[in-house]
Amino acid sequence: MDSMDSAENVENRFVACCQSLEEKLGAELTICQFPIGGPQGIEGVVDLVEKKACYFQKGDHSENYQVKEIPAHLQEKVQIYRQNLLEKIALYISEKELGEELGLKFLEGQSVSSQEIKELIRKMVISGRYFAVFCGSAYKHVGVNLLLDGVVDYLPSPRDREQITVFSGENEEKISTLNCPYSLGLAFKIMNLPFAKLTFVRVYCGKFLPSSYIYNINKGEKERVNRLMRMHADKQEEVSEVKMGDIVAIIGLTHTATGHTLCSEKKEILLEQISFTEPVISLAIEPRTQKEHDLLSKGLKSLSEEDPTFHHKYNSETGQMIISGMGELHLEILVERLKSEFKVEAKVGKPQVAYREAIKEEFELDEEGNKIYKKAMIHYLHKKQTGGAGQRAEV
């Protein structure tokens, strides 16, 4: 396959993806980038707003790229995409009747800078009707940084969302995020590390400080914030405060679980709850040795804190520990984590079924086959102790 064939392949796949977005999601697309194909697939992207080509070096994990002129063979197609982009912007301005200086400047055909085009695209995206489209390959380290730049340029910041919904009992109300007298956050993830338990929190209004106290509204418990950490992959950066819109990992919270609301004051309000699907498959699990029993219990508790779709319980009727999850692969991964993180060689299998039988009535048959009922029921208690766990049964 020559390079032109590959370039055409990349373009066709991009067009197919855009059509799929429109058909399946009913999305009104604002295409901001166009892919550049080569012998090895996608090699770069064309920025339709800045009118520049970005080429990425193969295997460069830092994703450095070179900015060049748009290739001659793509000029015509890029011009068509850019014209479509500008027409959508013009249509949006007409529909919204934007009488501001920038809107009039655009409609009158005056020269508009790339930064001004970005401002208009941002308004379109924030309206909720239009969706900015970027392209690239995370696997090949192409376009990821440009996508993150697009998040900053086009997606709404916390200041664009002036109100949030909170719930008090069965009632709901809107509160201002800018003028809220107290701080609110939502715990959305738990991570247990060897040195500490991290509670990931999204701050909706106000700010949180280290060495302070907050209230877990769901549990009605007062919690101490020991430290605030900003996470960078597997690295942590300690910070002195976090404000509205920040995502932070808090060290020191003991009662907080995924979906809990945190507040600087003791209030009877909750942020919107996170709903989780009930598990669909269950397995019995047991440690290979008795010494690992406590490690297994500790590991199951830790994993269920981190993953709300993972449940575990002890079945007293069968004497088995039962784990439940969203599928076989889900449970396989968790069992592997028990082995790698908690050093538990666990055995898994099908859960036993506890059958119950009950005496409904007691009678004898006479010579003619008629039932003769007895008034007294038989009661027997078996107890035997030989120094071990002992035996007990009642009939």
Output the pLDDT for position 60.
59
Q: Does residue 22 belong to any structural domain of this protein?
A: yes
Q: Does residue 164 belong to any structural domain of this protein?
A: no
- Find residue 347's DSSP bridge partners: 286
For 48-59, write each residue's pLDDT tens digit: 999 999 988 776
The answer to whether residue 172 scores a pLDDT higher than 80 is yes
Q: Which long-range contacts (CB under 8 A, 24 or more apart) does 365-372 make?
A: none
Q: Say yes or no: 32 and 96 in one domain.
A: yes
Q: Say yes or no: 55 and 76 in one domain.
A: yes
Q: Say yes or no: 251 and 146 in one domain.
A: no
Residue bearing the bigger pLDDT, 254 or 368: 254
The answer to whether residue 97 scores a pLDDT higher than 80 is no
pLDDT averaged over every residue in the chain: 87
Output the pLDDT for position 374.
66
Element of type H or E holding 107: helix 101-107
Output the pLDDT for position 301.
93
What range does the domain containing 388 cover?
363-394
Output the pLDDT for position 107.
66
Q: Would you say 37 and 71 are in contact if contact means Cβ atoms under 8 Å apart?
A: no
Q: Does residue 320 belong to any structural domain of this protein?
A: yes
Q: Does residue 175 belong to any structural domain of this protein?
A: no
Q: Say yes or no: 324 and 371 in one domain.
A: no
Q: Say yes or no: 200 and 146 in one domain.
A: no
Q: What is the CATH number of the domain that holds 289?
A: 3.30.70.870
Q: Say yes or no: 197 and 232 in one domain.
A: yes
The answer to whether residue 75 scores a pLDDT higher than 70 is yes
Output the pLDDT for position 2.
42
Residue with tokens 């010494």: 291
Total Cβ atoms within 10 A of residue 276: 14
Q: Does residue 166 belong to any structural domain of this protein?
A: no
Q: Does residue 124 belong to any structural domain of this protein?
A: yes
Q: Say yes or no: 208 and 286 in one domain.
A: no
Q: What is the CATH number of the domain that holds 195?
A: 2.40.30.10
Domains contained in the chain, number: 4
Q: Say yes or no: 45 and 107 in one domain.
A: yes
Output the pLDDT for position 233.
79
Exposure class string for 93-115: b at 16+ Cβ within 10 A, else e: beeeebeeeebeebeeeeebeee
Q: Which range has the worst mean pLDDT, 69-78, 173-182, 354-363?
A: 354-363
Q: Say yes or no: 26 and 136 in one domain.
A: yes
Q: Say yes or no: 201 and 325 in one domain.
A: no
Output the pLDDT for position 385.
81
Output the pLDDT for position 1.
36
The percentage of the chain sitting over the pLDDT mark of 70, rounded to a whole number, equals 92
Q: Does residue 379 belong to any structural domain of this protein?
A: yes
Output the pLDDT for position 390.
82
The answer to whether residue 47 scores a pLDDT higher than 70 is yes
Q: Say yes or no: 388 and 256 in one domain.
A: no
For 123-166, write each residue's pLDDT tens digit: 999 988 899 999 988 888 889 899 999 999 999 887 787 888 89
Tell which residue, 66, 123, 58, 51, has the closest CA to residue 89.
Answer: 123
For 246-273, write each residue's pLDDT tens digit: 999 999 999 999 999 999 999 989 998 8
Give whole-number Cα distances, 298 to 110, 304, 338, 349, in Å: 67, 10, 10, 20
Q: Does residue 356 belong to any structural domain of this protein?
A: no
The percentage of the chain sitting over the pLDDT mark of 90, rounded to a whole number, equals 49
Q: Say yes or no: 186 and 265 in one domain.
A: yes
Give the type of residue at 131.
F
Q: Which range has the worst mean pLDDT, 188-202, 210-224, 370-384?
A: 370-384
Q: What is the CATH number of the domain that holds 103?
A: 3.40.50.300
pTM exceeding the 0.75 threshold for the entire prediction = no
